[in-house]
Amino acid sequence: MAATPPSPSAPAPVLRACLMEARCEVLRILRTPSFALPTLLFPPLFYVLFGIVLASKGGARPEVATYLLATYGVFGVMGVGLFGFGVNVAIDRQRGLLTLKRALPMPAGAYVFAKMAAAMLFAAICSLTLALLGATLGHVELTPLQWLGLFAVDVLGVLPFCAIGLYVGMRVGGDGAPAVVNLIYLPMAFLSGLWVPLTMLPAILGTLAPAWPAYHLAQLALKVVGHDDGRGSLLHLAVLLGFAAVAMLLARRRLRTSA
């Protein structure tokens, strides 16, 4: 009697299919220089310019380099999540790729899993690049536990922005997605104190900063290096999880009805 083939819902085949989808997504991104290069190069270039070169002229390079290492790490992973999901999902919808994937015998959730895995990989590369620049050119001195904590904040912190990007990608078309994402990405980065400390901005902006998820992720990163605002980590985690949960629920509703 012929052996019964494994059920498509068995854990091993499902995991294998998700990993294969993730591998294809990484290859797809690497073959799209218009996304991969800006995502991986812009945050380190900005950090070198503002956190190292310009800071060295102010006489406080290590302190500024340490602060901006944390905030530019957040800036980098924000871009990975928002553009990787917001733009790519919108393009996939416009080209009919989501409709095709629904017709394929692939596990439910493999599409989102693959994009999240790719986003975490690129966030890790961005974080490691910034850490290398900070430790060498910026003379940033952190303990091994602090380096590991900063890396963990960056890699895991990309997930709430993946959720936000997914919702954006399910709401707008492929042609308009880059503009919409930039309208979210750049103002949020500035208003969250990622480019310059909030203490250097008008007081009203500092008061409104906790409304942005990027602020809370930045505070977690700054807490690792000892430059946060003193609020508890649980508050920041709760806000980030709340943003991610709401965005995912809204995106899931759209995913059920959108092609």
CB 69 within 8 A of CB 47: yes
Q: What is the pTM of this model?
A: 0.88
Q: State residue 95's pLDDT score.
A: 84
Question: What local confidence, expressed as pLDDT, does residue 94 receive?
Answer: 85
pLDDT of residue 150: 96
* CB-based contact 82:165 (threshold 8 Å): yes
pLDDT-derived band at 131, boundaries 50, 70, 90 = very high
Assess contact for 118 and 165: CB atoms under 8 A.
Answer: no
The helix (run of H) or strand (run of E) holding residue 131 is helix 110-136
Tell me the per-residue pLDDT of 197-230, one tens digit each, with 9 for 90 and over: 888 889 999 999 999 999 999 999 999 999 888 8
Share of the chain above pLDDT 70, in %: 92
In the chain, where the domains are located: 14-258
Band (242; pLDDT cuts 50, 70, 90): very high
Of 84, 76, 87, whose CA–CA distance to 45 is shortest?
Answer: 76
The two structure tokens encoding residue 72 = 């530019």
